[in-house]
Amino acid sequence: MAIAWGAVLSGMEIMRKIAEKYQDPKFNEAYLSLQSKIMEIQEDHIRLTNENEGLKKTQDLSSKVSFKRPYIYLEGDSEPYCQKCYENEGKLVHVGQKDEWDMGQVGRICPVCEHIGHEKWRD
């Protein structure tokens, strides 16, 4: 949705000149009220445009990721991502190298949230 802000602003400029020329209190009041409403709409427009862009990115991303326990995978990337970071914050964070620790547990640790993706619990 593109708003022709240039046209809106030049319309306002014409109204400002008329307000100056005729000095009609009712017209001036209406002009100032309209001007402040337009500023509110402009701010809303910027906010919504940014919000919409964020949503589009999230939607694009969610169509390219898949969950294969215990990790998240991104299309075209064989390295796993942290499930917790993705599900909580929508962020893709590569998990560390595969590691093995006591009692035969195998998994990878997220460098950001330290969540452990268990590939194997115990022998």
Site residues (vs Zn ion, CB under 5 A): 82, 84-85, 93, 110, 112-113, 115
Nearer residue to Zn ion within complex by CB, 16 or 94:
94
Distance CA 119, CA 104 (A): 11
CB of 120 to Zn ion, least distance (A): 19
Nearer to Zn ion, 106 or 113 (CB): 113
**2 to each of 8, 50, 92, how far by Cα in Å?**
12, 13, 32
> What minimum distance in Å lies between the beta carbon of 118 and Zn ion?
14
In the complex with Zn ion, which residue's Cβ is closer, 19 or 85? 85
Shortest Å, Cβ 117 to Zn ion: 9
Rounded Cα distance between 104 and 108, Å, is 13
Contact criterion met (CB below 8 Å) for 64 and 81: no
